[in-house]
Amino acid sequence: MKVLLSAYACEPNRGSEPGVGWNMAKTIASKQQVHVLTSATHRAGIEAELANHPDPNLEFTYLDPFRWVYDWSREKRIQVDVHLHYYLWQIKAYQVAKVLHQQQAFDLAHHVTYVKYYSPSFLAWLPIPFIWGPVGGAEAAPAPFWQDFKLRDRLYETLRTIGRTVGELDPFVRMTVRRSAMLWATTQDTAARLRHLGGAPQRVFVESSLHLHADDLQRLAALPPVSQTSVRFISIGRLLHWKGFHLGIRAFAAANLPNAEFWIVGTGPEAENLQALAESLNVADRVKFFGYLPQAQAMEKLGQASVLVHPSLHDSGGWVCLEAMAAARPVLCLDLGGPGAQVNSSIGFKVPATTPTDSVQKMAQIMQQLAQNPRQIQTIGNAAQMHVQATYAWAQRAVFLDQLYAEVVPRVAAPPVVRTPVGATAKQP
């Protein structure tokens, strides 16, 4: 098939949304012919990768509204204008897509990033089947957990809720939902909102799996086995209030494990607050902050740890959980969002998100249990690794997408047309 892919965020060797966009494009291109629309902010990274690893089934068009290339290097805590840029980018993408479709006659269009259900994708107006997803964003921090938030955090959560509400009122969002031949939600929370907006049929599957290519799995599986003599917990990610790292530190302190350590890898506006929390709970000597580390170094730290603690309050994906499981490390998380969908009792630990006090107590009990029985960590970690390899690996996702496309475009697809390698071929509207 010829697939037109809308991937506003798309860049190799990146996590989060750019990683989703790139890995989706590569996964689909393993079986189909793919033309990707993305922002020019990712151009250098994409062209460098394609120069070293050309892909004959991948072609890119870089576009931005009014030639406004968004600068992600700016250090801002709240980047309000990115939402305006994204909305205008979608309009520009439709204008470019109409011309490309006249030239190339695509079989279907597929939107993959941003992964937010409350902003429209105008590619749904093309005269071909349209798949919207993976999309998420309906996940929200449960009300009892707001008691730990500072004023700015409450403002963030309030504005986020207002943004979703306003987005759902956007007639173009509702039309995108209803014009989609298939909706792919990352969590049950988002699936429920899509049904509310009149959407069907649906698939529910976390987008995080698309980070785990064969090379990733091999590198993670090659990390050292878990130590049988000591227990080290680790959290990896941006230090934001909704990531819930404060809950992890409180649980570690409540567990009272003098021979254990808690490592935190990442940077963000909550860094000083988390360090102060560790001091106030008298665990600062056992809670170590490493700041930002490149991906390879972060994975090295994971290889020196025993259990990933990821008590996020509203993660649509939580790809670090899959990376930990691929490294045979169990995950301790809240039963919320993407992590809650990924983890079950045979491959990790998830606790109900009832109240902060109750969740912290249950997390502390699990930490104590694991510290007393390190062999259990290895047993559950091995099961988690097997589960990831069987369920979330790149090859399985390629099959999933192939079946999804065959359902949306009900015909026997010819083998992908292999063109002259275009590698870094790009067009700038």
* Domain match, 284 and 403 both: no
Considering only residues 37 and 320, tell me which one the structure prediction assigns the higher pLDDT: 37
Percent of the chain with pLDDT over 90: 62
* Domain match, 197 and 176 both: yes
- Look up the domain containing 40 and give its range: 2-210+393-423
* Domain match, 135 and 237 both: no
Check which CATH number belongs to the domain holding 26 and give it. Answer: 3.40.50.2000
SS3 322: helix
* Domain match, 258 and 138 both: no
Contacts of 317 (CB under 8 A, 6+ apart): 20, 115, 136, 186, 206, 207, 208, 338
Considering only residues 295 and 421, tell me which one the structure prediction assigns the higher pLDDT: 295
Residue of 401, 377, 380, 397 whose CA lies nearest to 389: 397
**Distinct helix (H) and strand (E) counts, the chain:** 15, 14
Task: State pLDDT tens for residues 324-365.
Answer: 999 999 999 999 988 888 888 899 999 999 999 999 999 999
* Domain match, 298 and 415 both: no
Q: Please give the torsion angle defined by the CA atoms of residues 377, 379, 381 and 384, in that order, rounded to the nearest 10 degrees.
A: -140
Structural domains in the chain (count):
2
53 pLDDT exceeds 60?
yes
SS3 56: coil
**Prediction pTM value:** 0.80
Determine, yes or no, domain membership for 104: yes
The pLDDT confidence band at residue 415, using thresholds 50, 70 and 90, is very low
Q: What is the mean pLDDT of the chain?
A: 87
Task: State pLDDT tens for residues 59-113.
Answer: 999 999 998 988 765 544 446 688 899 999 999 999 999 999 999 999 999 999 9
* Cβ–Cβ < 8 Å for 329, 306: yes
Give the orientation angle of helix 214-221 with respect to helix 374-391, to 10 degrees: 170
* Prior bond of 134 cis (ω within 30°): yes
* Domain match, 198 and 92 both: yes
Determine, yes or no, domain membership for 428: no
Average of per-residue pLDDT across 258-282: 95
Determine, yes or no, domain membership for 429: no
The region of weakest confidence among 149-158, 161-170, 213-222, 360-369 is: 213-222
Considering only residues 267 and 210, tell me which one the structure prediction assigns the higher pLDDT: 267
* Domain match, 122 and 182 both: yes
* Domain match, 52 and 135 both: yes
* Domain match, 308 and 398 both: no
